[in-house]
């Protein structure tokens, strides 16, 4: 179990105190007293500090004192309405109560589910992860691996934010242990490594130590080819154990290194590490672990076929088991099994059989104990569920009476509401029909206006075409004849030149009124010719991609509108924008014709330029587009050119 930091103290102080709680109790107390004297603590800080002090005692194995402090912090948090600490200490108390036997697993699950519900309601992701971790571990205790997986993966899903790195590393460690127990060593190794990656560059020594030790354990399997890696990680565990100064970690590291050397055949080093583990046990009077170390030593001698040395060690270890007030059945099962194997190896078959019978007896007792525990948990769960059902029944009766009163009150309200809804519905229907009428009338009017505008434009352009033809074919021709006659009869070059200029002006006026190339070439080739002429006469680079225009069936009036729009845009670029290049692109979709015109000139402010005389061309363009139901958008910034986007319906 790994407990996360409080969020109430300043980050630096909280982190430092939590680190000292792991590695140096005396410095923890010194820093706490110094901070209290110099700065003092708020009520919120006091709750957080008591929780951290509880962490300190838990880290060093004194769970009874840790629980007392967690309960004090929980009470403090409740009084000061600190939901975060109230939830975190509540979850920690459930863990400790289960560990010291105050509650059974079903009760722990109920408590953790309530904590999860409260954390979810408070949207406290940190405490949600703590509760999910607890629920996963408690379901493992009950052998419910599928439910445990669900809780683990839910915790992983909500802990992806980097700020929850410590919680996520803890979840990955516990998930890896669960997979190891199921024989999924390769998957477990991935989880341990992912968890270690999250904390390896941070001062989270406790969780680092557990992850590193678990990785080393998997590398040190009997069939493993990664023993060199196991040796590296076991030594890392020993280094971190010295930083944390936790005796149990020393023992774990020394024992694992002893097993490593035993498997690799270095029996001298193996014995040295077992002796180191025993020295730590003697130094800190950790009697309960001694029997397991002797069991490892006996296995060490058995592998060397020193069966009598192994038996002597086993007898010493058994004496320690008998001295314990509450010997562990698991240890007794392991001892009896190894006794039987050793006596079998030395030819003492009667003793081997006797110890094998003891092994079966203890193993059956262990199974029976597990069954009793399971039945007790089921019974407790049944009683708890029965109690909850009764509470729900009482609550349902009260709810039923309340509902009856509500129904009586609601019926009259419903009648009034029904009448109101009917009246409101009638009003809404009237409003809806009126809105539909207005929309249809508006759309019809708009269609009529567009049709009228289109017809008007067509009539105007027909008249333009007629005037242009008259100017070009009749007046222009007559002027040419006059010019020729003058040049033959009058020797006045100036007068002849003036007449020539008049002829040219008439031609220009004719082209401007209606471009004759539209009739000959169509709108696409006419625009291309216009751009080629601009490039030849002005030096402005032009480009066009307007092949899609061939896909649209235009009438003569529509061709002229498009031509005039492009002509006006080009004139603006030539006269006002100081452009070096212009470009036009046409794109036809199933419903739209889109034109995009660009230049790289000085740009303009549309709102300002429309107020000046220079805005006449823009107004002409806008009017032409809107008269036939199109839309136009200008995008221009100072010294960044202009982009004009024009869209027409395909019905053009």
Where does residue 88 rank: exposed (0-12), middle (13-18), buried (19+ CB within 10 A)? buried
Sorting pLDDT into bands at 50, 70 and 90, what band is 110? Answer: very high
Q: How far apart are CA 145 and CA 184, in angstroms?
A: 13
Task: Report residue 222's pLDDT band, with 50, 70 and 90 as the boundaries.
Answer: low
At residue 179, the pLDDT reads: 86
Question: For residue 4, is pLDDT > 50?
Answer: no
Statement: residue 197 has pLDDT above 60:
yes
pLDDT digits (tens, 9 = 90+) for 272-319: 888 888 887 777 666 667 777 888 888 878 888 888 988 888 888 888
The confidence score (pLDDT) of residue 194 equals 92
| pLDDT reading at 33 higher than 50 | yes
Model pLDDT, residue 191 = 92
Report the alpha-carbon distance of residue 31 to residue 37 in Å, rounded: 10
Length of the chain: 652
Greater confidence (22 vs 479) lies with 479
Q: What percentage of residues in the chain have a pLDDT greater than 90?
A: 6
pLDDT of 403 over the 80 cut: no
In the 8-state DSSP scheme, what is residue 236? H
Radius of gyration, CA atoms only, the chain: 46
Pairing status of strand 592-599 against strand 631-636? unpaired
Select from 525, 545, 521, 543 the least CA-distant residue to 594. 545
The mean per-residue pLDDT over the stretch 407-423 comes to 74
9 or 65: whose pLDDT is higher? 65
What HEC string does 286-333 produce? CHHHHHHHHHHHHHHHHHCCCHHHHHHHHHHHHHHHHHCCCCCHHHHH
Q: pLDDT at position 542, please?
A: 92
pLDDT value of residue 388: 52
Q: What is the pLDDT of residue 555?
A: 75
Q: Give the 3-state secondary structure of residue 221.
A: coil
Res. 20: pLDDT tops 50? no
Output the DSSP codes for 176-216: HHHHHHTT-HHHHHHHHHHHHHHHTTTT-HHHHHHHHHHHH
> Taking 60 as the threshold, does the pLDDT of residue 181 lie above it?
yes
Q: What is the pLDDT of residue 596?
A: 93
Average pLDDT over residues 71-84: 87
pLDDT of residue 69: 87
> Looking at per-residue confidence, does 531 or 224 come out higher?
531
The three-class DSSP label of residue 120 is helix
**pLDDT, the chain, mean:** 76
Minimum mean pLDDT range among 247-256, 527-536, 607-616, 627-636: 607-616
- Is the pLDDT score of 439 beyond 80? no
pLDDT band of 7, cuts 50, 70, 90: very low
**60-73 average pLDDT score:** 83
Q: What phi and psi values does residue 632 have, to the nearest 5 degrees?
A: -140, 140
Query: Per DSSP, what are the bridge partners of residue 541?
Result: 581
Residue 117 pLDDT level (bands cut at 50, 70, 90)? very high
Distances (CA, A) of 498 to 197, 445, 472, 502, 503: 92, 52, 18, 6, 9
Section 418-430 average pLDDT? 76
Nearest to 74 by CA among 111, 106, 100: 111
Question: Please, what are the domains in the chain?
Answer: 246-347 (1.25.40.10), 517-649 (3.30.565.10)
More confident residue, 355 or 252: 355
Q: Give pLDDT, residue 383.
A: 53
The answer on pLDDT for 223 being more than 70 is: no
488: phi then psi, degrees, rounded to nearest 5 = -85, -35
Q: Inter-axis angle of helices 493-513 and 349-470, to 10 degrees?
A: 130
Burial bucket for residue 40 (CB in 10 Å: 0-12, 13-18, 19+)? exposed
Q: Which tens digit of pLDDT belongs to each residue from 551-606?
A: 887 777 778 888 888 988 888 888 888 889 999 999 888 888 899 999 998 887 77
Measured from the Cβ of residue 107, the count of other Cβ atoms closer than 10 Å reads 18
- 8-state DSSP, 243: H
- pLDDT exceeds cutoff 80 at 466: no
Residue-wise pLDDT tens digits, 310-348: 888 888 888 877 776 656 777 788 888 888 889 898 898
Q: Which of 35-39, 44-48, 278-282, 439-443 has the highest mean pLDDT?
A: 278-282
410 or 392, greater pLDDT? 410
Question: b/e map of 189-221 (b: 16 or more CB within 10 Å)?
Answer: bebbbbbbebbeeeebbbbbbbbbbbbbbbbbe
* Weakest mean pLDDT among 187-191, 494-498, 536-540: 494-498
CA 326 to the chain's CA centroid: 49
pLDDT digits (tens, 9 = 90+) for 499-528: 667 766 666 665 666 676 777 788 888 888
Please give the pLDDT value at position 598.
92
**Of residues 316, 243, 242, 332, the one with CA closest to residue 280:** 242
CB 214 within 8 A of CB 177: yes
When pLDDT is cut at 50, 70 and 90, the band that residue 5 belongs to is very low
Cβ count near 477 (within 10 Å): 13
């Amino acid at each position: 179990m790994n407990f996360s930091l409080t969020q109430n103290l300043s980050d630096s102080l909280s982190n430092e105190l939590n680190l000292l709680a792991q590695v140096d109790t005396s410095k923890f107390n010194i820093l706490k007293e110094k901070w209290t004297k110099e700065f003092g603590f708020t009520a919120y800080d006091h709750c957080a500090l008591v929780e951290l002090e509880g962490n300190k005692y838990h880290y060093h194995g004194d769970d009874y004192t840790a629980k007392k402090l967690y309960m004090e912090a929980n009470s403090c948090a409740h009084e000061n309405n600190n939901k975060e600490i109230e939830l975190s200490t509540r979850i920690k108390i459930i863990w400790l109560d289960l560990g010291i036997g105050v509650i059974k697993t079903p009760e722990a699950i109920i408590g953790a589910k309530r904590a999860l519900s409260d954390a979810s309601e408070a949207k406290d992701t940190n405490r949600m992860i703590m509760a999910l971790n607890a629920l996963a571990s408690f379901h493992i205790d009950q052998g419910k691996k599928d439910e445990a997986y669900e809780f683990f993966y839910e915790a992983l899903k909500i802990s992806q934010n980097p700020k929850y790195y410590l919680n996520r590393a803890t979840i990955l460690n516990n998930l890896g242990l669960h997979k190891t127990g199921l024989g999924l060593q390769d998957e477990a190794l991935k989880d341990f490594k992912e968890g270690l990656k999250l904390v390896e560059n941070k001062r989270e020594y406790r969780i680092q130590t557990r992850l590193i030790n678990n990785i080393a354990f998997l590398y040190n399997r009997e069939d493993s080819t990664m023993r060199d890696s196991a040796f590296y990680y076991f030594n890392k565990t020993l280094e971190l154990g010295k930083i944390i100064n936790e005796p149990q970690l020393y023992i774990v590291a020394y024992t694992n290194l002893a097993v490593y050397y035993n498997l690799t055949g270095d029996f001298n080093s193996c014995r040295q590490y077992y002796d180191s583990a025993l020295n730590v046990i003697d130094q800190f009077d950790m009697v309960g672990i001694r029997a397991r170390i002797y069991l490892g030593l006996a296995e060490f001698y058995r592998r060397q076929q020193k069966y009598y040395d192994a038996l002597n060690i086993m007898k010493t270890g058994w004496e320690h088991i008998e001295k314990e007030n509450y010997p562990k059945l698991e240890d007794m099962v392991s001892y009896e099994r190894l006794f039987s194997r050793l006596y079998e190896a030395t030819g003492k078959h009667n003793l081997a059989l006797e110890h094998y019978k003891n092994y079966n007896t203890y193993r059956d007792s262990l199974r029976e104990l597990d069954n009793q525990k399971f039945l007790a948990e089921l019974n407790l769960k049944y009683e708890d569920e029965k109690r909850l059902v009764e509470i729900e029944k009482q609550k349902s009766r009260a709810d039923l009476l309340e509902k009856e009163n509500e129904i009586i009150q609601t019926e009259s309200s419903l009648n009034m509401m029904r009448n109101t809804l009917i009246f409101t519905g009638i009003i809404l229907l009237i409003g809806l029909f009126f809105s539909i009428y207005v929309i249809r009338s508006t759309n019809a009017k708009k269609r009529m206006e567009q049709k009228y505008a289109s017809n008007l434009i067509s009539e105007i352009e027909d008249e333009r075409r007629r005037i242009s033809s008259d100017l070009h074919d009749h007046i222009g021709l007559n002027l040419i004849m006059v010019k020729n006659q003058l040049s033959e009869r009058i020797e006045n070059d100036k007068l002849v030149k003036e007449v020539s200029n008049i002829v040219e002006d008439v031609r220009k006026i004719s082209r401007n009124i209606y471009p004759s190339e539209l009739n000959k070439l169509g709108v696409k080739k006419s625009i291309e010719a216009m751009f080629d002429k601009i490039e030849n006469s002005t030096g402005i680079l032009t480009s066009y991609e307007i092949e899609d225009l061939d896909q649209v069936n235009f009438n003569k009036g529509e061709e002229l509108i498009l031509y005039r729009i492009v002509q006006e845009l080009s004139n603006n670029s030539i006269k006002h924008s100081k452009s070096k290049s212009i470009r036009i692109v046409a794109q036809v979709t199933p419903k739209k014709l889109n034109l995009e015109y660009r230049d790289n000139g000085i740009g303009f402010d549309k709102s300002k330029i429309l107020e000046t005389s220079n805005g006449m061309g823009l107004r002409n363009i806008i009017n032409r587009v809107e008269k036939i139901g199109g839309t136009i958008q200008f995008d221009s910034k100072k010294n960044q050119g202009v982009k004009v986007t024009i869209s027409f319906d395909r019905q053009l």
